[in-house]
Chains A and B, each alone.
Chain A
């Protein structure tokens, strides 16, 4: 399995940005975050103590439609639980996240965005980190397809997803909570349990507690856990930015 790759702070004018390459769908997602920004109008009537999160998803070739609205809603709800919108300077202001899908296969009308959802989530997370928006934790997400024979397929392509019996997107927080689950297609709970275990292994690795209480990250069929890959992307950027200080120390 090819690990996803990303670069942070690619855009000059945005407060934070990330460009994310998703190997399974071949699409490149460019995310930018501007925060905190003043929002026009009086949108603060609903929750004056919190930041307003706005997410815009722009598909590569077509104008955004109802499908995008739906994914925006998913992203907004999830990120709302992770962003600390009550930190200083954020209440009543906006966190504006724009995600543009560049290249890759197009998502047609009525098609679920599920196979792109993990990439969108990761891009949003990296862009938020690059903008230094306070977060309570990080997360990682993956998409799994279950085919007619009951085989679990990791990060399916669009054709695989179309023929799959069911499709599942799961996101786990860095503390192991199930943050998001989007499943569709016919399945039963036993299948879902298996999918959840596999997804957890992909995101966090299989945790082995050794005799001295250390938690070791085991690498299995899924290669490096996604969480580790994401952490590495951020660390790379931090090392690049603070080269001068690290060298001096």
Chain B
């Protein structure tokens, strides 16, 4: 790919930037819309009758595998629920059938069925209190205005918590990061488990580095929500648990605010651990 294409609203997307595989239909992601030409003008015989234009400012991101195209806009934007996103939600209150959870403070509460947990029945359902955290998947965002966002901690088709880890988050601590950072962390953590890359995925090595360094202290658990929340739990590390949690949070928020190269990220991790007097 040549240099990334920066688009502003109203800009047309040149066809050479679109994924070239033509067999599958093109999937349009956020920030793009397909427009049709209503009035055939004098010169329209040569121009196509449909064009793709941007509606947000950002860089064009194409995925050849999925034949998808979208716009990466400002990483500090508000999280807007989309189906199948993994989010960390906080229980606000519960009603007989639903838990009402907060995904972002501005948005209306999302609903999470009392029974949409793995293996939950009327008797075994989790008893969540106000303020408890759940790692959930956005099931649907509803159609039309005023529709409620529905969450689930279970795949309704299989009745299992997939991907793994969905459900109540016990203990630990939540850190706020930007939505762009959350997306990057998810990308990094989802692919770095299998193949090892030197530069890390999405330019992030901080989690790998922290994992290596904190291994001796007992390691940590992490859950990343697309809504800009990161949950960290180090309960295995015994006495150093609090320190390690703080260290991870500090690394992530610093990284969110300052752009760091892979080498700088490693330095950051060592510095933070040293400052908190965590032995590695």
Contact = CB atoms under 8 A, between A and B. Distances in A.
| A–B contact, 8 Å CB criterion (strictly below) | yes
Interface of A: 8-9, 12, 15-16, 34-38, 44, 48, 84, 87, 89, 91-93, 129-138, 173-175, 231, 234-235, 237-249
Interface stretch (B14-22, B72-80, B91-99, B121-129): B72-80
A174 B12 CA distance: 12
A242 B169 CA distance: 31
Contact of B73 (A12, A93, A132, A231): A132
Interface in B185-237: 199, 202-204
26 contacts: A16-B76, A34-B106, A44-B145, A48-B145, A84-B55, A92-B146, A130-B74, A130-B76, A130-B77, A131-B74, A132-B56, A132-B57, A134-B55, A135-B9, A135-B55, A135-B56, A136-B10, A238-B58, A238-B59, A241-B74, A242-B75, A243-B259, A244-B184, A245-B72, A248-B202, A248-B203
A231 B146 contact: no
A244 B58 contact: no
B9 A137 contact: yes
Given A15-B77, A137-B10, A234-B8, A244 B203 contact: yes
A249 B9 contact: no
Contacts of A37: 106
A186 to B, nearest CB: 36
A223 B258 CA distance: 34
Interface string B46-78: 000000000111110000000000001111111
Given A38-B106, A240-B259, A174 B8 contact: yes
B58 A132 contact: yes
Contact of B74 (A38, A136, A237, A248): A237
Contacts of B108: 38
Contacts, number: 114
B14 to A, nearest CB: 14
B226 to A, nearest CB: 15
B77 A129 contact: no
A234 B106 contact: no
A234 B203 CA distance: 22
A249 B1 contact: yes
A93 B204 CA distance: 36
Nearest to A238: B6
A138 B203 CA distance: 32
A93 B74 contact: no
B167 interface: no
Contacts of A243: 259
A132 B6 contact: no
A130 B56 CA distance: 9
Contacts of B6: 234-235, 238-239
B4 interface: yes
Nearest to B58: A238
A163 B4 CA distance: 48
Nearest to B79: A15
Nearest to A8: B74
Contacts of A245: 4, 59, 72, 202-203
A235 B203 CA distance: 20
B135 to A, nearest CB: 23
A174 B106 contact: no
Given A16-B74, A135-B56, A246-B4, A241 B107 contact: no
A44 to B, nearest CB: 7
A129 B203 contact: no
A211 B179 CA distance: 47
A173 B9 CA distance: 11
For B3, B9, B202, the residue with the greatest tally of chain A CB atoms inside 10 Å of its CB is B9
Given A9-B76, A89-B80, A129-B57, A136 B9 contact: yes
B31 A134 contact: yes
B249 interface: no
Contacts of A129: 8-9, 56-57, 74
A215 B31 CA distance: 27
Between A132, A237, A246, the greatest number of chain B beta carbons within 10 A of the residue's beta carbon is seen for: A132
B10 A174 contact: yes
Given A38-B107, A87-B55, A92-B146, A244 B8 contact: no
Nearest to B201: A248
B273 to A, nearest CB: 23
Contacts of A38: 106-108
B61 to A, nearest CB: 8
Contacts of B8: 129, 138, 174, 231, 234
B10 A138 contact: yes
